[in-house]
Amino acid sequence: MVSIFMGEQPPEPTTDGGTDSGEELEARLAAGESYDPPESFVEQANVNDPEIYEEFEENWPDCWERAADLLTWFEDYETVLEDDDAPFYRWFTGGEVNASYNCLDRHVETGGKNRAAIKWEGELGETRTYTYGDLLYEVEAFATALRDLGVAEDDVVTLYMPMIPELPIAMLACARIGAPHSVVFAGFSADALATRMNAADSEYLVTCDGYYRRGDALNHKEKADKGLRGVEQDVETVIVDRLGDELNHFLGEHAHDYDELVRAHEGASVEPVSRDAEDMLFLMYTSGTTGQPKGVKHTTGGYLSYAAWTTHAVLDVKPEDTYWCAADIGWITGHSYIVYGPLALGTTTMMYEGTPDYPEKDRLWELLEKNDVDIFYTAPTAIRAFMKWGKQYPEGRDLSSLRLLGTVGEPINPRAWQWYYDHIGGGECPIVDTWWQTETGGMMITTLPGVGEMKPGAAGPPLPGIDAQVVDAVGGPVDPGNAGYLTVRRPWPGMLRTLYNNDDRFINEYWREYSDEDADEWVYFPEDGAKLDEDGYITILGRVDDVINVSGHRLGTMEIESAIVGVDGVAEAAVVGGDHDVKGNAVYAYVILEDGQDPTESMRDRIVGGVEDAIGPIARPEAVVFTPELPKTRSGKIMRRLLEDIASGEELGETSTLRNPEVVEDIAESVGE
């Protein structure tokens, strides 16, 4: 057996040392206590037969017909999977389908015209509700307008908008006429917009004048205009007027007002274009190791069926539900689990423009109560913030409508899991802790809430049909409890097909060729460390390069962070390596305390002791820095690179991508005192 890793091998991941607050809870978690879903949930669950895992295994790959059956096909597919040109796999070949039709028309045609499709909540208290009939009406009008502007099938249309309803409307209008969309997160810079439009050869942009953040009106058009100056090709631009009289804006040449276009095309009928299953539905640019963003290509048939199936099976979404994924559509989570998955199933999906603590820290719970939300899907970053603010905020609202909770974006430590379970779900809602990526298109590792028990801190087993394995450096299995590399051995319908105009990079960045005496096999390598327990549950340990080398010992940052967050009174922590004269690298911990906790020497000693108890003296932090905030990107990711600069006394790097750049200088000053 040869190594599955080409060139320099990634550093070995370390064993997770997640702990929790309170001796009793810590003991329970250490003992591997699990939680069964309530019987009442199991009885009504979309998927509740434990034999589904065996059925998918025995019938693979034809098992994925179950996902395809959730869609309406214009032409039936001939083959579920073609793998003769691996790793360029093709799904549901010969089939023809349209995403807009599946998300809109078929629900209107079968009696869902007056059911709410999108409920939108603005930051200033405005609300808009679109029924499926309303949404189809506006999507057809805007699709007609796009065609009149020159958008043809396979033209890439860039969408640079915040969380306003016109964003999913534009996505569905593009899908209707066979034009792939490329959504650029509204928090990205002008340069990021230009880079992505140039990479996609996009000649069309839909954006807006501005939006609200914490009550302030932000000028988004100014940033879009700056970005357009860096685009190499001529661009036709459509501008949504979000701010009204708050911001007067000039359209300029090749610019069009969204409302005027929709009014001019009201009542238009646009037949949805029949798209081959392998035709591109959208591009999503994600960060690359070389600094150049990668254009992840997702196709219509495989992606849409997988998004629908995972929404159905994992999130247990039903047409009568009100479902809220508190992500941003600018990221893949919003694509799959705000727009395409929920709308394909005909449910009511919620959108919220603002932040979770404006105007008050109970804003999300207020909206959840007001809209009788059944299913809530959010990130561990948000849950840690909720913990910091205090349980009194959710306890002041009626959250009894909730049936299921979910987490996405990063591993959730056991303490945050338990808080979410107790204080948001009232101990009655199953939690699905989902691992997946932009590239996978949908969930890959998690429990099925109507089938499996939950283990705090462990994502769960691979979903039915997903062959995820934890292996050592040469591709062999690791024993339960040991750390290894997460790999996926078989293709799945939601997978990326390639990187836009860069097949070589697609292979080099994601695939390793595994060889033995019998055959060659392509293995997907997501660059995450993981460990497996005796029951087949996988715990994600974080990126394999998130390690600190202390005196020759490799320590995982997540392992140390989990130990710190396990200390009573700690809300969040970020750990990095900093230069040290003796050790080479030392551990530096940046810690946010819960409200009401003081940054005392006693607290610092408890944190150091918690790390030593959980991992050992080798992981003892060289310094514990208390801070009210951590530097985070606009997507909520901690910018550890800047914390490393501070720890090593280096000049601070670029901070323009942060949502809170001012905090970096504050932390640097406190370290220097």
Q: Where are the domains of the chain?
A: 39-433, 544-672
Helix (H) or strand (E) holding 419: helix 414-419
> What are residue 325's DSSP bridge partners?
377
pLDDT of res. 612? 82
Which listed CATH number (2.40.430.10, 3.30.300.30, 3.40.50.150, 3.40.50.920) goes with 544-672? 3.30.300.30
CA distances (Å), 351 to each of 130, 305, 339, 592, in order?
A: 11, 22, 10, 29
Which among 146-150, 188-192, 290-294, 609-613 has the top mean pLDDT? 146-150
Q: For residue 25, count other CB atoms closer than 10 A to its CB.
A: 17
Burial profile 519-543: b = 16 or more Cβ within 10 angstroms, e = fewer: eebbbbbbebbbbbeeeebbbbbbb
Of the listed ranges 19-23, 227-231, 559-563, the least confidently predicted one is 19-23
Write the single-letter amino acid at 252: G
Rounded CA-CA distance 371/381 in Å is 23
492 close to 310: Cβ distance less than 8 angstroms: no
Cα-Cα-Cα-Cα dihedral sign, residues 633, 123, 211, 236? positive
pLDDT score, position 362: 94
Whether 405 and 426 have beta carbons less than 8 Å apart is answered as no
Contacts of 402 (CB under 8 A, 6+ apart): 368, 373, 374, 375, 376, 424, 425, 426, 429
Instruction: Give the span between the Cα atoms of 566 and 22, in whole angstroms.
Output: 8
Residue 577 — pLDDT band, cuts 50, 70, 90? confident
Share of the chain above pLDDT 70, in %: 89
Rounded CA separation 326/338 (Å): 8
Give the confidence band of 615 by pLDDT, cuts at 50, 70, 90: confident
Residues 6+ apart with CB under 8 A from 111: none
- What percentage of residues in the chain have a pLDDT greater than 90? 67
Q: What are phi and psi of 348, to 5 degrees?
A: -100, 120
Greater confidence, 421 or 17? Answer: 421
Residue 435 has pLDDT above 70, yes or no: yes
Q: Which residue has the tokens 């009511």?
A: 348
Lowest mean pLDDT segment, chosen from 51-60, 326-335, 379-388, 544-553: 544-553
Q: Identify whether the C-beta of residue 25 lies closer than 8 Å to the C-beta of residue 415.
A: yes
Beta bridge partners of 96: 75, 276
- Judged by DSSP in three states, 412 sits in coil
Average pLDDT, the chain: 88
Spatial contact of 104 and 135, defined as CB atoms under 8 Å apart: yes
Q: Burial level of 563, CB count in 10 A (0-12/13-18/19+)?
A: buried
Provide the residue type at 585 as one letter.
N
**pLDDT tens digits, 622-657:** 889 998 888 877 656 777 778 888 877 777 666 655
**Predicted local confidence at residue 426, as pLDDT:** 96
| pLDDT at residue 656, as a whole number | 59
pLDDT of residue 578: 81
d(CA 468, CA 444): 8
What number is the average pLDDT over the span 266-276? 97
Q: Average pLDDT in the 542-570 region?
A: 74
Classify residue 114 as exposed, middle or buried by CB count within 10 Å of its CB (0-12, 13-18, 19+).
exposed
pLDDT digits (tens, 9 = 90+) for 91-127: 999 999 999 999 999 999 999 999 999 999 999 999 9
Residue 523, CB-side half-sphere exposure with 13 Å CA sphere: 26
**The pLDDT of residue 581 is above 70:** no
Q: Look up the pTM and report it.
A: 0.83
pLDDT score recorded for residue 16: 32
For residue 15, the model assigns a pLDDT of 30
Tokens 């929404």 — which residue?
Answer: 311
Q: How much is the pLDDT for 449?
A: 98
Got the DSSP string for 81-133?
EE-TTTTS-EEEET-EE-HHIIIIIHHIIIIITTSEEEEEE-TTS-EEEEEHH
Instruction: Kindly report the backbone phi and psi dihedral angles of residue 407, in degrees, each rounded to the nearest multiple of 5, phi listed first.
Output: -130, 150
- Residues 596-619 have a mean pLDDT of 86
The pLDDT of 367-389, averaged and rounded, is: 94
Burial of 656 (0-12, 13-18, 19+ CB in 10 A): exposed
Average pLDDT, stretch 252-265? 95
Q: Do 172 and 195 meet the contact criterion of CB atoms below 8 Å apart? A: no
pLDDT at 339 over 90: yes
> 605: exposed, middle or buried (C-beta count within 10 Å: 0-12, 13-18, 19+)?
exposed
- For the chain, the maximum distance between any two Cα atoms, rounded to a whole number of angstroms, is 73
State the Cα–Cα distance between residues 367 and 372, nearest whole angstrom: 8
**Contact at 8 Å (CB) between 344 and 304?**
yes
Measured distance CA(542)–CA(564) in Å, rounded: 16
pLDDT of residue 247: 84
Q: What is the torsional sign of CA 273, 278, 279, 280?
A: positive
pLDDT higher than 60, residue 2: no
Q: Which of 443, 466, 455 is nearest to 418 (CA)?
A: 455
* Residue 313: both structure tokens together: 């099976």
Least confidently predicted of 24-28, 260-264, 424-428, 563-567: 24-28
pLDDT in tens, 383-426: 988 998 999 999 999 999 999 999 998 888 898 999 999 999 99
Residue 286 in tokens: 């994600």
pLDDT tens per residue across span 446-460: 999 999 999 998 999
β-sheet bridge partners, residue 406: 377, 432
Cα(457)–Cα(445) distance, integer angstroms: 13
Q: Greater confidence, 507 or 559?
A: 507
The DSSP output letter for 66 is H
- Band of residue 45 on the pLDDT scale cut at 50, 70, 90: very high
Q: Does domain 39-433 have CATH number 3.40.50.12780?
A: yes
Banded model confidence at residue 572, pLDDT cuts 50, 70, 90: confident
* Spatial separation of the C-alpha atoms in residues 208 and 193, rounded to whole Å: 14
Q: Residue 13 pLDDT more than 50?
A: no
Residue 530 in this model has a pLDDT that exceeds 80: yes
> Rounded to an integer, what distance in angstroms lies between the CA atom of residue 151 and that of residue 157?
8
Alpha carbon distances (Å) from 414 to 136, 458, 505, 532, 563: 43, 8, 37, 16, 10
Pairing between β-strand 468-471 and β-strand 483-488 as defined by DSSP bridges? antiparallel
Closest to 406 in 3D by CA, of 310, 529, 479: 310
